[in-house]
Structure 1
């Protein structure tokens, strides 16, 4: 919102309150505009519809999340060249901490993405992250297998199910409005639990 006009900022703030309270589908555009103190005509001078207002609240954070997440995936491949693939699990946990910091720095936007986005292009936000994770991790395992640096196997369906369960559990911190310190402790234990399970199926050499 830093480059928005005062009118846009008012609409965004009022829209955020309405979306957080009622979710995108049930949010009233008329109420947003009225509570912001403007007319529908003024609104349409800045946004073409209710979803574009929602975009204005979450688009930057969503894009940054996906960009950083893809970079995190790429960084695992860097471990191959440095022959440090044994540290793959450790690196994943470090990135989890980084992403938790980012989530809590932008908590309301993630609340919108996780809990209020039904009916928008963001409604599959978690699943989209899961699909990236499964695709890139499968590629990583296949590369390591050719180099004899990993043992064990997992089929794609189970891989997707476990990853989906893990990511959903991580974002429960947002869904349940956990305080940051509580959430950090929660995901540390969650990572230990899931990492132990993964290592029983696939381990790095």
Structure 2
């Protein structure tokens, strides 16, 4: 849908205000004034401040979630292809893809990770963790049934490790790493976590 010049002005000023102060402390009055419009003009596009925030981040957030689901589907495909030993390699490949996606929408993810308290996006990382744990446990169950895993991991430990992993990934955004720095960091992070998972699960 084409965005009007007025709407784009509101989005631009809103993004700047949210990045500067975070959602909770951002002033809708200031956004409207700086954009040069009345509150009536603003409400013609967005019912409240939360809707403006969502308009800024929803496409990027939903896009990463959908790509993440596709990556999980690709892991299930390894079972039918009898190539489950490539799980770690595939995970690292997709992780690097995700990082590049995040950097393509860096400001949007900066808003989500650092400025979203008070919005539904404040639990974004947690929701990704829940999605990953749920789908991955189904994957591990299938692998165990086929004799492809010799080890095991409890649900509680699985959740804690995954939470630590996702939090570490998004530290690239928190610390304003360059794309190049983030990629090198992620490669090392993947080696560390993959070694731990291999030690616990012992893929065959």
Shared fold per TM-score greater than 0.5: yes
How far residue 3 of structure 1 moved from its aligned partner, in angstroms, is 2.2
RMSD: 0.8
5+ unaligned residues in a row in structure 2: which ranges?
none
What pairs with 1:133-148 in structure 2 (closer than 5 Å)?
133-148=132-147
* Distance of 1:42 and 1:201 partners within structure 2: 57
CA deviation profile, 1:155-177 (whole Å, cap 9, x unmatched): 00000000000110000000110
Q: How does 1:97-108 map to 2 (within 5 A)?
A: 97-108=96-107
Q: Report what 1:181 is aligned to.
A: 180
The whole-number CA distance in structure 2 between the counterparts of 1:157 and 1:3 is 46
1:164 paired residue number: 163
**Runs of 4+ that moved beyond 2 A:** none
State yes or no: 1:203 paired with 2:198.
no
CA distance in 2, matches of 1:24, 1:176: 19
Alignment partner, residue 29 of structure 1: 28
Q: Aligned with 2:202: secondary structure?
A: strand
Q: Distance in 2 between matches of 1:69 and 1:28?
A: 34
Whole-Å Cα distance in 2 between the matches of residues 74 and 94 of structure 1? 14
Q: Secondary structure at the match of 2:150?
A: strand
Aligned residue-pair number: 204
Question: Counterpart of 2:54?
Answer: 55
Indicate the residue corresponding to 1:78 in structure 2. 77
Aligned counterpart, 1:11: 10
Q: What's the TM-score once normalised by structure 1's chain length?
A: 0.98
5+ unaligned residues in a row in structure 1: which ranges? none
CA distance in structure 1 between the partners assigned to 2:176 and 2:74 by the alignment: 30
What is the CA distance between 1:35 and its match in structure 2?
0.6
Task: State the distance in 2 between where 1:125 and 1:96 align.
Answer: 17
Query: Matches of 2:3 and 2:171 in 1, distance apart?
Result: 31
Q: CA deviation at 1:204?
A: 1.5
2:86 — aligned with what?
A: 87
What CA distance in whole angstroms lies between the structure 2 residues aligned with 1:139 and 1:182? 34
2:122 paired with 1:109: no
TM-score when normalising by structure 2: 0.99
Q: Report SS of the residue matched to 1:141.
A: helix
